[in-house]
Amino acid sequence: MLIDIYRDGRSVRHGQASAFIAKFDSVMVADSRASKGTLARDLALQLKFEETTFLQDAYITNSAELDGMRLKRNLQRGDILTRSRLEQIPDVDFGQEVIIEYTGAGLLISAPGYALQKGITGETVRVRNLSSRNIIKAVVAGPGLVRIVAGGGQRRTR
């Protein structure tokens, strides 16, 4: 920045100066370590006034932002909680047993399955049908439930 120094109303010196401006805000900070997958509502957090100048991601400022979320990766004591460290709790998680429903032409058929991907309601995930051992794509319909719609062009592999 350019500066002018005045004495008795007259400019006596002209020059440049640099300055560092730091940003501070109230943020949620980890009070203890937590592992990937921990529900956000179970985290030990404190609201602290911390420097946020160099944070690359949006940070969490109140506990209401934690509803329905879990840790995407480990959190260390003193870490500022940011949105990139959280993910929505999936309705279907990798490795979870699910119910596969097929609907079409007035039929409703269900079979047990094994989720090969995590997903939230409305997302398409890969699932292994435990009866046929085929891998199919299905849409997450709710917690532990996936649906195949007739004529959906599902890919089947063994």
Q: Give the domains, in start order, of the chain with CATH numbers.
A: 24-88 (3.90.1210.10), 97-149 (2.30.30.760)
CA distances from 50 to 20, 24, 29, 61 (A): 16, 5, 9, 11
Please report the pLDDT score of residue 158 as a whole number.
Answer: 47
Summarize the confidence of residues 76-99 as an average pLDDT: 95
Tally the residues of the chain. Answer: 158
The reported pLDDT for the residue numbered 150 is 66
> Torsion-angle region of residue 12: left (phi > 0), alpha (psi -120 to 50) or beta?
alpha
- Interior CA angle at 130 toward 114 and 152, to 5°? 75
pTM beyond cutoff 0.85: no
Percent of the chain with pLDDT over 90: 76
